[in-house]
Amino acid sequence: MGQVLMARPVHPRRGDGGIGRHASLRNWFARVKVRVLFALPHKAAIVKWYNRVLVMLSRRFDSRWWHQNHIIITDMEQTRKFLQGTHPFEQIRHPMPHQDMMGEMLAIKHLAVTRSDTHTRGWSKLCLHGHGLHELRSYLDYDGPLEGFDRRYRWSDEIRDDIPHTRAFFDDFRPFEHLRRIRLQWLEPGGYLEPHRDTDHGTDRRVTINIAVNNPPGCEMRFGDTVVPFQAGTMFMIDSTQEHSVHNDSDQARAHLIVDGR
């Protein structure tokens, strides 16, 4: 297991991000608690249920504060190693109820915003988790300080009750210490994104998680001549600063989730 990373709670009334007279004691206690958990047998199962209990509490008490600020245990070792390499993608293996999630994505598809220009066709998206359902500009427009949790990132109010399986999946799957944007992106039959690089943040290698809720035969994401081997329910770390393209030559719409974090 890699290094354990934790988010520091923000008190709902003080809103101080854990900065206060007892902050050092609270942080020390949190680190000791996590080390004890990881010293126990079957630590992966224990951590999974520990996170689930915290999320259950978030839904019972003051849901927005708990959901954004409870201490979640994550393992970013694979992410760190990927950032140190040069390969444009790498698979993450994690169970995913993609059929249930696909039903939820279809139910909210009508809310997606269409994007078409000379470089794209049949492309639409919406923001499940972030600053708002249609807040879809460059992530740099929303990037905030890394001190504590940025409470602006949350499940979009318009759809949060419509995607219970998706939210439950992200309760267990935590690839980042700070979960920021989760965007649903649709590519219609015959749609495409021409070869391009996502360099609005510069040329430094950067990881996003691309999750295939579905991936009909004939849909391909390519880095040059190399095809990312997506299938429904698979997910890959992607370095989008390297040139890539997407084509949908099937007769079905392709639905992927793009996950950003720190």
Distance, CA of 72 to CA of 60 (rounded, Å): 17
62 and 148 assigned to the same domain: no
Instruction: Please report where in the chains the tokens 């949190």 appear, as a residue.
Output: 30
Last residue of a domain, one of 75, 95, 115: 75
Instruction: Please report where in the chains the tokens 């996590």 appear, as a residue.
Output: 34
- What is the dihedral sign for C-alpha 167, 102, 75, 200? negative
136 and 42 assigned to the same domain: no
Number of domains the chain contains: 2
Closest by alpha carbon to 192, among 248, 255, 114? 248
From first to last of its 262 residues, what are the pLDDT tens digits of the chain? 333 333 333 343 333 444 344 444 544 555 555 555 555 555 556 656 666 666 566 555 544 444 444 444 445 677 777 878 888 999 999 899 999 999 999 999 999 999 777 789 999 999 999 989 999 887 667 665 544 446 678 899 999 999 999 999 998 888 887 788 999 999 999 999 999 888 655 556 678 899 999 999 999 999 999 999 999 999 999 998 889 999 999 999 999 999 988 7
205 and 169 assigned to the same domain: yes
What is residue 261's three-state secondary structure?
strand
50 and 126 assigned to the same domain: no
DSSP states along 168-202: HHHHH---SSSEEEEEEEEEEEEEEEEEE---TT-
63 and 115 assigned to the same domain: no
Last residue of a domain, one of 50, 75, 100: 75
CB 113 within 8 A of CB 127: no
26 and 151 assigned to the same domain: no
CATH number of domain containing 254: 2.60.120.330
- Which residue range is the domain that position 21 belongs to? 4-75
Distance, CA of 216 to CA of 221 (rounded, Å): 12
CB 148 within 8 A of CB 18: yes
